[in-house]
Amino acid sequence: MKRIKTKFTGVYEREALNRKNKNSLDTAYDICYRRDNKLIWEKVGWASEGYSPKLADQVRSERIRSMRHGLELPNEKPKTLFKDAVKKYLEWAKTNKAKGGRDDESLYDGHLSKRFDNTRMDQISSFDLEKMKSELLKKGYASATVKHVLVLVRQIYNRSIAWGLYQGENPVKKVKMPTVTNQRERFLAPEEAENLLKGLKAKSQQVHDMALLSLHTGMRFGEIAGLRVHDVDLKNRLINITDPKNKRPRKAYMTSQIKAMFEARIPKRAKSNALIFPDEKGKRMEFISKTFPRVVKSLGLNKGVKDPRQKITFHSLRHTFASWLALQGEQIQTISELLGHRTLQMTMRYSHLTPDHRKAAIGRFEDVLSQRPEENKQMKGDENARKE
């Protein structure tokens, strides 16, 4: 149906192809106007519904008046600010995500709030996100961190679409995620670990105990920070990890040193839900104390190390635990279970440290070839008999 101008500015009419209005074809009335430099077309209604060019002109005038006063137009995409969507998302995350969404809140505060808070969600483009990704990588942030930021933005948009706060395509969909190559290879030698623990103990008993626990159990920082008195079973030497990264509760096992540490650390009358390693305000720790990197620096453990993946961090203690197990010949399946990995593939990085059974197989093969002459002669005789 071709639009035809009427005497009213921005008002057009078009005749229906097969829609009737009494004994003649019906007529539709459209209006057009500009918003944000974009030409907007809107169908007002049909003549059979009581609409006329004059009434359509009145509707167009109302639209222009609303734009001048910053009001939303009917059937228009919600103009939700990014910060408002984040607020609702974080409220949802408190009861629906691991750690109550604290990791998401940290990523938002550190990388997204200053950049996008006062921007409408429909104004954030894939280009904006690509630019953010590039800038974060240039600043030296790990690929995994940048990927986490983009995944958070994607989740915020997905939830906003579900809640009716945003209409349209998720802009993260067209952003290429950075390749994550953050597997750590370096682990502590026994002497380095001993020196680190001594240095930490001289500065902070709590940081020392947390490091000792990770080194002896492979527990992550977040799992240690979330430990409460009722999670520790001293009688059976078990630690119940109820808030793991992969959401699959597991158990860690105490060495004698860990048992002694807990006995000294947990008061006899401590409340069952009390945190074992609280921060200075008695709340759950969000980050490892700065004491840890300071002691690492004082010991020169990262001196001359440029690759972030090879630097000693708190997570290196978990990696050291797994590496030591592999070196002593433990099966990959056992190491995987102790670390709480979702898949065995995640643990295969330690396979190169296990004693090489292939060398042992070649050794046995050589033993067969070097049997006594009479045994070799018998083997040849048996082979000739099979051929006949």
Give the C-alpha separation, 378 to 252, whole Å: 55
The residue-averaged pLDDT of 6-29 equals: 90
pLDDT-derived band at 18 (thresholds 50, 70, 90) equals confident
- pLDDT score recorded for residue 379: 45
Torsions phi, psi of 278, nearest 5?
-75, 165
Give the C-alpha separation, 179 to 230, whole Å: 40
Whether the per-residue pLDDT at 248 is higher than 90: the answer is no
pLDDT-derived band at 387 (thresholds 50, 70, 90) equals very low
Burial of 330 (0-12, 13-18, 19+ CB in 10 A): middle
Query: Do residues 44 and 59 lie in contact, with contact meaning Cβ atoms separated by under 8 Å?
Result: yes
* Residue type (1 letter), 243: D
Query: Do residues 7 and 53 lie in contact, with contact meaning Cβ atoms separated by under 8 Å?
Result: yes
Instruction: Please give the mean pLDDT across all residues of the chain.
Output: 85
Q: Which residues contact 148 (CB under 8 A, 6 or more apart)?
A: 103, 107
- pLDDT score recorded for residue 247: 64
Give the C-alpha separation, 129 to 124, whole Å: 8
- Whole-Å CA distances, 236 to 88, 254, 328, 384: 43, 9, 25, 63
Check residue 72 and report its DSSP letter.
P
Whether the per-residue pLDDT at 386 is higher than 60: the answer is no
Give the C-alpha separation, 290 to 293, whole Å: 6
| Per-residue model confidence as pLDDT tens digits over 337-384 | 888 877 766 766 666 565 555 455 556 556 655 654 554 455 445 545
Return the SS3 of 245. Answer: coil
Query: Do residues 215 and 342 lie in contact, with contact meaning Cβ atoms separated by under 8 Å?
Result: no
Show the tokens assigned to 386.
């099979």
| Per-residue model confidence as pLDDT tens digits over 113-150 | 999 999 999 889 999 999 999 999 898 887 888 999 99
Percent of residues, the chain, with pLDDT higher than 90: 48
Burial of 248 (0-12, 13-18, 19+ CB in 10 A): exposed
Query: Do residues 33 and 63 lie in contact, with contact meaning Cβ atoms separated by under 8 Å?
Result: yes
Would residue 40 be called left, alpha or beta, if left means φ above 0 and alpha means ψ between -120 and 50 degrees? beta
Q: 0.85 cut: is pTM over it?
A: no
| Per-residue model confidence as pLDDT tens digits over 306-335 | 877 788 999 989 888 888 888 887 788 888
pLDDT-derived band at 290 (thresholds 50, 70, 90) equals very high
Query: Do residues 132 and 94 lie in contact, with contact meaning Cβ atoms separated by under 8 Å?
Result: no
Helices and strands (DSSP H and E) totals, the chain: 15, 7
